[in-house]
Structure 1
Amino acid sequence: MIHLKNKKLLLFILSVLMMFLGIAETQQFTVSLLCFSLIMSAGWLYTLPPIHSRFDEVVEAQVSRYVPILASLVLAVFFWLTEDSLTALFLTLLLSWVAGILLLADLDLEASAAATGAPVISLIALIILQPVEQLNLSSPILFALLVVVIIAFLLTAIKFFTRQQEALKKTTDPLPSSLAKQVKKTEDAKAEVRDLKEDIKNLQVDLSAAEMAKMEFLATMSHEIRTPLNGIVPLIDIVMDTELNDFQRDYLTTAHTSATQMQKLIDDLLDYSKVEAGKLTIEMTGIKLKKVVDEVIDNLKPSAERKGLAFKIKFDDQINPLLRGDPIRIRQVLTNIISNAIKFSDHGRIEVVIKKVKNFSTSELIRFSVKDQGIGISENQTEKLFNAFTQADNSSTRKFGGTGLGLAISKKIVELLKGQIGVESKQNVGSNFWFEIPFSKSAGSGLNSEGTEVHQHQAILLNTNPALFKQIQNNLEQAQLPVQTSLNYQHALSRVQAARGIQDGKTTLLFIDFDTNAKTLRQLMLLVEKGELDDVWICAVSKNEHIAGVKQYKNIQIIPADKDIELILGEFERRLYPEKVMELDESQDDEVANDSEPTTESDQEQPEESETTGKTSSEAVNLKDISETILLVEDNEVNLKVAQKLIDYIGFPFDVAENGMVALNKAKKTRYRLILMDCQMPVMDGYFCTKRIRKYEANHNLNHTPIIAMTANAMLGDKEKCLDAGMDDYMSKPLNRYVLEKTLKKWDPFESKKATQKTAAETKPTVDLKHVAAINPKWLNVKALAEIKTFMGEETHSLLDLFQQESPEMLEKLRSFGETKDFSEAQQVAHTLKSTGANIGAIGFSHFCKKIEQAAMEENLSEVTVNIEKARKAYILTVNEIKKYISES
């Protein structure tokens, strides 16, 4: 900075000297030269710290450039304001100025030319225009030309020399020590970052390998431990059904309990390994919550009674009888918590409370509480209670055993179910373990167990419009659909392929914005034409209602961004499965006003019955060629003996094959009623054997033989692997007699025939023609109620009572729509009433609620108002039919 100031000061001094030279030669004071010096002084004054510190580098560069240029303009004017043409003086001043700019100004070539151009041009013009006698020159033009050449030479030569010197200096001069250290530190840091990245890559590879090795080890150990257990638990189970004295029964009961506990320990370890690997799966299906709770209590109540503990259960009657959740995981968490309450209690009672905490339009938040009067837990111990392999008492003298995995697994399960878990406890007083889980309300699951619902789907968003797809994603999440996003065409196809590989029975919905990504949609349409995306429902989001060339495909639908998910699914169902969709005819609109002659239910169901009859007769023909023998494929002697005893005990004749090759040859000769297939065998394993059997059946146009896997593998993906190979079902070892019997009867074609005959014989007297004719099926579907009654029993009446209790209040909200004009509330209420009506078979009432919902989405005031009145009348007619049904059933 000091060096720069000195140069500015030298330029200012040069301008002062030039001013004095001009005054001395002209013998008069010239204002132009004074201004010239003042301008150069401004450039120097800027370098002073009080002024320079107030400006940045940009201003500094502008001052260094424009001050010399402005001064040169003033110097050029000076040449013309002098009365006499003093050529020698002018040339001296010009050369002095050029030299000063080149040596002291630190300007580039362009800026230097700008700073010297004005006086040069001015002097040349003066020489050319002034009379020759006044210039004292023999040839003014030649003189001016030489002046230009000399100045150009000086300017170019000095600048070139300066640049060469600077380049040489940069290559030869060493860096300052501090800067060199900084450079070295930077290079070392970059090298260290590269090494760290390489180490991270290697660690990731090692971690993946370790994770795979751990999972393989767990799978192997699970198989090896379950194999001997398969020779213990089922055989003890069979022996306990024989005649035993008290002494023998006591010993066998102890052995059976120990083996069962060991099996539970293995299951806990496997579940925990899945938790650690992030592969614990949740399956959403229909659930009767009260039934699940009762089953858990029935299983654990004997243990509590043996310790003298009393059980008290409070189940909220307001909980919807039909919900959606994971009954297996709910049972697992509840069993674990109640088991702990029994384990850590020696007196008092255990109170299980299930209560509805919040009610939403599509879900209910249910709180489970288990209170005991046991040993309790101190506050500092509750924090680590949900950690793995941790107990409140970890001392060597502790009274209670266990791995401490139960609560850790329970917490993970609850979190996967989008809930939360906690505990409130006082030492020596008792504990209150609780967890809250949102359950989806079932929409029509009672009507058709094979029907498609919102929760039986998954969505993939091909996101090219973030704002739009954020809205769609929120709608999907509110409808509780699993959502994945893809950024491009190939990534979306890979996600579709991955979804197919899971084989969880869900349909994939692919959302794409046509307005911003029409080209990709056209590519998808080509795949649809080839039949490669028949199983994917494609939703093209667009502001237009029609797109050329798209409407012709059943699995492509043009939708607005705000269209209700359930309406989208309903449209796909109508296109792809018209025979399974219960849709009212438009003539029913008029029937609400004037109750016309009802259509009998037998007329409605005639096509379905004929279809069933055809299927049954087809099966009857095929059964003639089927042997009554079961083929048991097992290589392990212990497992073979156990399976033989179990099958013989259940009452099925069987044949045996020791490996897949023998089983394949036997299956080619005999059409077995079903095959129990072990998976891991020498010579040929069960997977390959199944594939060969399926291929043989296809080539020879034979009936499908049910093949059920029996394997000690219980890791994630084992079931899917069996199903992918062509097997129909899956049982993990050790075999459970009741599970085996249930599975055999489920897939046994002869049992299916017996069930069909039994149903034909028993169903007709249950719902007689008089009963069917007495109830109008347009307002209450008796067949739907019969299906509900098969799994709800006498609770069907409580379901109908609940419908009559809740619906009037919600209908009253709809009637107030005329005053509020709240389309959002009308849509929400109508959606709930539509699902509620569908659950009990009130298809007419559900139909008009659906129309209200659609009209509210479109904000069609007149349609909403008209259909509210129709829904109110439909409700009255439905209640009348419910009363008939209750009185006659």
Structure 2
Amino acid sequence: MDLDNVQGNMRGNMRGKSTALQFKISEFIIRFSLHIAVLLMVTGIVSAYFFLSNSTKSLTNHTSELNAQRYLEALSAFRTLYTNEVVKTAIKQNITISHDYKNIKNAIPLPATLSMALGKEIGKFQSGAQTFLYSRYPFPWREQENKTIFNQDFSQQAWDSLTKNPEQAFFRFEEVNGQMAIRYAIADVMREGCIDCHNNHAQTPKNDWQLGDVRGVMEVILPIDKAQLTAQSSLQATFIVLFAMIVLITLVLFIFVSRIKKDAKKLANSNVEMMKKQEQVNFANEEMGLAIEQLELKASELISSNQVKADFMATMSHEIRTPLNGVIGMLSLLKQSEMTHEQNHHAHLATVSAGSLLNIINDILDFSKIEADKLVIESVEIRLAELVTNLSATMAHIAHEKGLELIVDVSQLKHMVTKGDPHRIRQILTNLISNAIKFTAEGEVVISTKIETIDDKNLQFSCSVSDTGIGIAQHKLDSMFERFTQEDSSTTRQYGGTGLGLAIVKKLCQLMNGDITVTSTQGQGSTFSFTLLLERCDNLKAELPQVDLSAYRILIVDDNKTNREVLSGQLKLWGANVSQADNAKAAFSSLTENFAKARDKNFDIAILDMQMPEMNGAQLGQIIRADKQFAHLKLIMLTSLARPGDAQYFANLGFNFSLPKPVITADLAHALIQAANSTEPANQLRLSPANTKNKKITIKPLPKSTRVLLVDDNSINQVVAKNLLTNLGAQVEIANNGKEALVCLEKDYFDVVLMDCQMPIMDGYTATRAIRKSQRDYNDIYIIAMTANAMSGDREKCINAGMNDYLTKPVDIIALENSLLNALNMPLEELESITSTRTEQIITNEDNEIHTADESNSHQIWGKDGFYKRVGQNQQLAERIVAMYCQDIPGEIDKLSQAMTAKDTKSIEAIAHKIKGSSANLEANNLAQCALEIELDVKENNCVNIESLSIKLKDNFAELLVELEEFLAINVQDE
């Protein structure tokens, strides 16, 4: 092949490629030019629409603002003119100026009165226009009108704004009576011609007015001109029609272009056609690949969004609660200081307000967590009867303070231990019971429960909370479980609340495969009933005490019928022969008549209510005890307002037992069994079950000269350990780390060092080695290790570092005492003397009453009893430590999150260790265990589960925080 042929072939190939390129370009123009043109046209029209719409709206708003401004300026100018020209002249001529000018002879209206009358007259000609004049310093005849006006948010905000900046008008647009309007307010400033009249008026609420003072607010409500709104609607309609025409034209053009493209394809040669098809395939593949990438990106963004939302909620939980916990904690500490009665009252009100705010925040955060599907329902063993009665008992004082009966019926919970989420069940019950108490002014709140078998694995728990409160209108019932819903706005104003509580309750019921319903009659009360699906427990245990009272006759005396029926039902389940009386007189008659008829079938036990009309239970008990024929009769007192010392008081009156209401079933069973089986005189049976729970250990103190150096960086651990040491009689000095400990040893003499192992700056191991290597006289001092680690090898590590003994946190007082005795080398006989007194337990029934709850559930959020034991039943110390914990730990959890984000494993381990130690001292064992797992995983370089453990830790802390905050609030209120 010669050169010319080669060149010819090359030119032919190039022409072919050029033709293909030209075809591609022309095809692109044909294919996409219309799209671009339509897109530009649509964009232009939409932009023009939004521009004109916004411009029209802005013009409408501006016009309304100017109209309102001119309206008030004209009214104000008229008022000034009237004051200067008419009122002054009238005063000189002894004409009376009065708001009641119509009823007073030779009187003319006050300027303000005339202005308001003029505003009303103008309003008749301008539909919907309203004029208001109000002040925080109204004359007596305008006080009621002012109160009504200031109930509106706008009026309050207008007053606050204008008193701060009188020159700046306050306005906003809102719907008034179904019509958009502008509410425009200006300051009514004290002018020269008004000062004397206002300061010297006989009924003036304020007599020190000065020139320029804001005396009130002038407000006008002007509906926006319907013509202007119609113009906006017309503009929208015009653009919609125009857009529809463009769409129609576009469709026609698309059809036309499609025909052109079809003809063009017929003219293309086969090579170009094949190339085009190949390119179409390639383009389709690229489009598909792009679509897949976009889907993957969207999926990734969705996952990230959910994670961000979860992180945000966790962060917000701590960010919002941290300052509030600080407030509540500091108020608790403040209550322990010396204050006047007024200061104490103010601190109490501040605590109640902070607690209310915290409840609102908890509702919002809980609802957000539910909405984000981040709420985990647990399945642990629950003793339902105990849970319901204990929870009701903690809320009883609120009901009793309002004079309400709180009645609990758990007689139908006779099944067994079940499995479910105790915290969420408490949350549901707390919400419903607190609502019932809140919305009931008089009468009773009744909690009824039962459990039914569904199948071999499942049980259905049913519970209803009934009240005799305000009730709910029928048309409102269907919306009661919607978020931010209450019966009406007046309910919100009177009772408060977020309107989220019932929405949360419904969501929780649904998450536990149940539901909630409500029935109500307005003015008579409401009943909220819910069901939950629970699991059967393999460990079948009787829920209620097994009691046989078939041989006993029992008389119940209570003026409340529901209370009698519930108590009677429970006693009959135990086989008792029960009679009832609704007042003291009827009860005594029943006793007397029964004794006269059949002495061998007398009543064995009488259960009396304290609060009854005409004659209370205490008076009836005294009358019964004064009659020797009833000497055998055992008396049990039920009282709604139990106080420290009540048990002794009722015992002195001759009662065998006194029980607080609502009665806990186990306590009732205990009292009945003890009373029925006892042969002792009544005045010797004085045990009240509520008084047997708080015990403390009496320990013989160490020598007063014992000096202990406590080395620990954790402030909560410091307080707990110092309290233990002080109770043992030791003198304590604190160092925050090993370096400070060395300085303390240089300055002072100590008998023992109590050394934490993990501390910043210098840890316990390093400090101990430094002490042992020093040439000082303290190099052989007795060092006791305190560590939260209880792993294999930890003890050896402490001993190898030079420590003499080893204690695990949280430190037990007996183990600490033994270790100190070993350190001091005390004689054997003294050691035995101290050890023998260690186990002596005394029932404490003094003024320093401890608020504890009997929690037998192994899955405790907070082991309050163990915590009280650790602090020696010291209420003030307990409150102080809880307040410190609530203030410190949220910050540590935040630091933990930051360290995890930065992948700072050293900090993660240290922070988790600190959280673990503080939580263990507080007996917050779930949280301590979670922190321990994080610490161990980091030590073993196993970071796979740390993220999930962190979320679990935050959830555990949120649950714990609810109990701690309730504890602080209750104890501050009790003070």
TM-score scaled by length of structure 2: 0.32
Q: Which has the higher helix share?
A: 1
Question: TM-score with structure 1 length normalisation?
Answer: 0.35
